Amino acid sequence: MRGDPQARTNRLCERRQALRDVQRWAPVFGADVLEDPSGYDLIAIDGLPAAAGDDRAARARLASARAAGALVLSYISVGTVEGWRTYAPEVPRSWTLGRVSGWPKERYVDAREPGWQEIMAREAAALAGTGFDGLYLDNLDVGEEYPKTQPGLVELVDGLRAAAPDLLLVAQNGLAVVDRLAVDAIAHEDTWWRWDDGYRRSPAQETAEILAGLRRQRERGLPVLTLDYTDPGAPAAEETVARSLREGFRPAVSVLNLDRLPHAPARDPGQGGGGRGRSS
């Protein structure tokens, strides 16, 4: 089945339609156990094995999310190398560009490096074989921090599409380059609320710039997901959910560690964003 090109095409078409129908989604990258993930249409988890190569916890997370009947994406950082990953020892310092602020074991990677592109394609193929519906491509904003890497990001994402042709590809951030990426949706952090030594409202100018970019992607026909950060149960969560829904986006609001199910919108988006958010 997986070797049949027509079957892969059909599977991708079905997944794209399901992605367009998503109303509630849950990014839960920091949790080993998903507590009652029912009611979500899309769940994004960390599906990569632990540093020692043990993938039992990742498979358990996948089974839990799959039982909810949702599309399931695996997180993978395409713009940084995380020191705790199994493939980290393969990445020489010469491929990297600088430290990621706040993450001492993580460095930006130059996506133009063929070796990095090969590692990412290999990991994508492995995740496809594990049974994921797609990949959640984090740290594409490396193309904003280091504009010279943008052509490499385009090549890298094309390589993921070739390595796992039936997987959905969802970009995280990366508005500077997303128009050129072969992705099926875009998610963006910090549109309205973020972590900055505490949960704080995003600067108005940054919100305006992000919204302009996301509206452009919405007009292109890409599903748009938003991910903002506040205290659990904070009034800001309901405000953020409502504002995202009014834009025609799919919101999630969670804590910085993403170790629990998020505040989520009411199932009926026709309420114009007035539905109450569900806090974690």
Q: What is the CATH number of the domain that holds 53?
A: 3.20.20.70
Decide if 276 is inside a domain. no
Decide if 277 is inside a domain. no
Q: How many other C-beta atoms are found inside a 10 Å radius of the C-beta of residue 115?
A: 12
Q: What is the pTM of this model?
A: 0.91
Q: What is the pLDDT of residue 134?
A: 97
Decide if 22 is inside a domain. yes
Decide if 101 is inside a domain. yes
With cut-offs at 50, 70 and 90, classify the pLDDT of residue 91: very high
Q: Are 81 and 96 in contact (CB under 8 A)?
A: yes
How many structural domains does the chain have?
Answer: 1
Residue 164 sits in which domain range? Answer: 5-271
The tens digit of pLDDT for each residue in 14-53 reads 999 999 999 999 999 988 888 888 889 999 999 998 777 7
Dist. CA 186–CA 194, nearest whole Å: 18
Mean pLDDT computed over every residue of the chain? 90
Decide if 196 is inside a domain. yes
Mean pLDDT throughout 125-133? 94
Q: What is the pLDDT of residue 115?
A: 98
Asked if pLDDT for residue 186 goes beyond 90, the answer is: yes
With cut-offs at 50, 70 and 90, classify the pLDDT of residue 3: low
Decide if 85 is inside a domain. yes
Dist. CA 7–CA 112, nearest whole Å: 32
**Residue 116 carries which DSSP code?**
H
As given in the structure block, the two tokens for residue 128 are 């496809």
Give helix then strand counts, H and E, for the chain: 7, 13
> Which residues, other chains included, contact 212 with Cβ-Cβ below 8 Å and sequence gap of 6+?
none
Asked if pLDDT for residue 151 goes beyond 70, the answer is: yes
